[in-house]
Structure 1
């Protein structure tokens, strides 16, 4: 199962929580429960999408490129789609044209998936990284090591 979207959202929420302090890939990886190389690849993708930038040198790391209120989950989803095809992409399937069911499957699925994809994009566009940070804050215990960024 692909976790890129979830881990990328985790990274951005952590950066929002850090409030302008650069965060290393090691710290982000530790928080997300993944390897720093995975985080560096995702940060690179997020940087190409204009969502983060990096500060080099001692004490460097990733930072949000714009306010968390201006980054939607749809922005994150689209950034992750740049390197990986759409989960619902049925046009790349190759059903048997000689099969009655196969001949109409692609068109049928596209008709069914279209409204679901539109609804998902609308829902993701309505949620900002700042809102994710706010929701996380409701669940963080006082004194949590990750709570201070």
Structure 2
């Protein structure tokens, strides 16, 4: 899983918290505590896939356009992180029985693990995350 997933979830929860207010990438970046350029990259992806809209100009910003009850975390994972659980293997010793077979042997394990992660994330929505945040108050 990569940090774009975290930025995407955080951004959508932030927008869902005040659904009628435009939020700038700077507002969101301050909440996420990352550089606004990173947030804009993820917001661009979310906009391209129809989760948010943007308005340009001095009073511009971003707004959530999908119902947060229908945005499941698996969609965001697939969009931002699919394939990221599988590590990049170092160039192992091809003369060693383990070295020449370990990557192939582990690939299926990582694929199955990712399928389970995605299946589990289907059970959670942006609204669920927002409610969990509210439980902390």
TM tier, shorter chain?
A: 0.7 to 0.9
Aligned residue runs from structure 1 range 67-78, under 5 A: 67-78=67-78
Aligned to 2:123: 126
1:69 positional shift: 1.1
Aligned to 2:42: 42
1:45 positional shift: 1.6
Runs of 4+ that moved beyond 6 A: none
1:31 aligns with 2:31: yes
Secondary structure of the residue aligned to 2:47 is: helix
Aligned to 1:62: 62
1:24 positional shift: 0.8
RMSD of aligned Cα (Å): 2.2
Structure 1 contact 10–32 (Cα < 8 Å) conserved = yes
- After TM superposition, the structure 1 stretch with the greater mean CA deviation from structure 2, 8-17 or 85-94, is 85-94
Aligned residue runs from structure 1 range 74-85, under 5 A: 74-81=74-81
Structure 2 contact 83–114 (Cα < 8 Å) conserved = no
1:67 positional shift: 0.6
Structure 2 contact 86–110 (Cα < 8 Å) conserved = no
After superposition, the C-alpha distances for 1:59-110 in whole angstroms (9 at most, x for unaligned) are: 32111131111111111112213xxx72233687654433200222122102
TM-score by length of 2: 0.86
Secondary structure of the residue aligned to 1:70 is: coil
1:88 aligns with 2:85: yes
1:30 positional shift: 1.1
After superposition, the C-alpha distances for 1:115-140 in whole angstroms (9 at most, x for unaligned) are: 21111001111111111111111124
Alignment partners' CA distance in 1, 2:34 and 2:135 = 24
Higher-helix-fraction structure: 1
- After TM superposition, the structure 1 stretch with the greater mean CA deviation from structure 2, 52-61 or 65-74, is 52-61
In structure 2, stretches of 5+ residues that fail to align are none
Aligned to 1:14: 14
